[in-house]
Every structure is written in C-alpha cells, then in structure tokens.
Structure 1
Amino acid sequence: MSEFTNVTVVKKANVYFDGNVSSRTIRFADGSSKTLGFMLPGEYTFNTGAAEIMEIMAGDLDVLLPGSEQWQTVTGGESFDVPANAQFTVKIRTATDYCCSFLS
C-alpha cells in the first residue's frame, strides 16, 4: 500500500537519538496507528510496548531481534516483526524510510 486514506496525522514529530530518527504518527478510524519515519546512518536501540511490523520502504539496515544472536540484513521492500515488550537494535547503513505498524 503506497498511501493511506481517511487518517488523522499528529503534527508533532517523534524525535529520537539527537534527531537522527524521526517519525510522525498516523491514526486510523478503527483506532489503529502507524508511524512513518526516517533514520539516518547509525546504531539505535528501541524498546517496544506493542508488537510491531517494521516495513522498510527504502534504505539498508541490519537488525538484531530479541532472542537472536545473529544480525539480519533488511533492505527496501522488506520487513521484520518485533514482539511486544521487547528490545531490538538497528544498524542503519544508508538513510532509511520506514513504516511501523503497531499490532494489538
């Protein structure tokens, strides 16, 4: 899906890691939400509340998912799942555009 319709966009940006990661929250009529974001090269560790799907629109990164000792390479057009209440680390190799879908 290349666009979303009938959504509410939160104007205030979510800014992390000294501005190297930023996103905007979008909310759907059914109560679900997603963030659309951009990450600059670097290494970042995130904590999750809800389970999520990280869809990489463009860019290249390596991700270390919970319970794994192996880094996984992810490129534009691919995605990965993160469980709820977990921590994961990404190494962004090139500027990366992403969509994060939160699961209930």
Structure 2
Amino acid sequence: MSIQFDNVTVLKKGNVYFDGKCVSHTVLFADGTKKTLGVILPSTLNFGTASPEIMEIVSGSCRIRLKGEEAWNTYGAGTQFSVPGNSSFDIEVTETVDYVCHYG
C-alpha cells in the first residue's frame, strides 16, 4: 500500500458525519477516480453505499458486519474489506480508524 497520493486535487471542505464521529476529505485523481481519506472515532455506526467501496484501514482497529450477514469481522492496520454498491455495513470502531475509501 502506498503511503501517499501524488498529483491529486483535494477538496477543502470536509465531509462530517454522525456528529463528527467520522470526518473525511475527498481526493480527485487525474483519471477521474475519487477516494476519501478519513478518520472514524470510537463508536458504532451504519454506513450506506451507493457504489461498491473498498475500505483500506491505515491505522486503528474495527469490526465490520455487512448488510444481511450476522458475523462480525475484525480489521486493523494494513487490511481492507469490500462493500457492494447499494448496500450498507455496520462498523464498530474500537481504536480510532484512519482509512482510505476507494470507490467504484
């Protein structure tokens, strides 16, 4: 996993969700793709997805339960998980998570 993104545009306005428990910034790439870089504070939240997403955990620890599943899976730094489009997932953050969300 790369430690930085080069030659990108970063939108200045942050995306603030769940009363500040999740904050991210949008990063636009020359090829038209988009990612968000963010932080989720310890909490239990539910996120909906429009397009497929890959969540890359940069640091911290969390448990994930995809829509329609009963089992929770644990993820930490250096791991990632996929979420289908038009779906949702529950996330329980046990140690503040720093993440990159890859769309599409």
TM-score (normalised: structure 2):
0.97
| Runs of 4+ residues deviating >6 angstroms | none
Deviations 1:9-57 (A, max 9, x none): 0000000011010000000011100000001000010000010100000
The separation in 2 between residues aligned to 1:67 and 1:80, in whole angstroms, is: 16
> What are structure 1's unaligned runs of at least 5 residues?
none
Alignment correspondent of 1:43: 44
SS at match of 2:19: helix
Q: CA deviation at 1:68?
A: 1.5
> What are structure 2's unaligned runs of at least 5 residues?
none
Alignment correspondent of 2:11: 10
Alignment correspondent of 1:69: 70
Q: Check if 1:26 corresponds to 2:18.
A: no
Q: Cα RMSD between the aligned structures?
A: 0.6
Deviations 1:76-98 (A, max 9, x none): 11000000000111000011100
SS at match of 2:23: strand
Alignment correspondent of 1:90: 91
TM-score (normalised: structure 1):
0.97
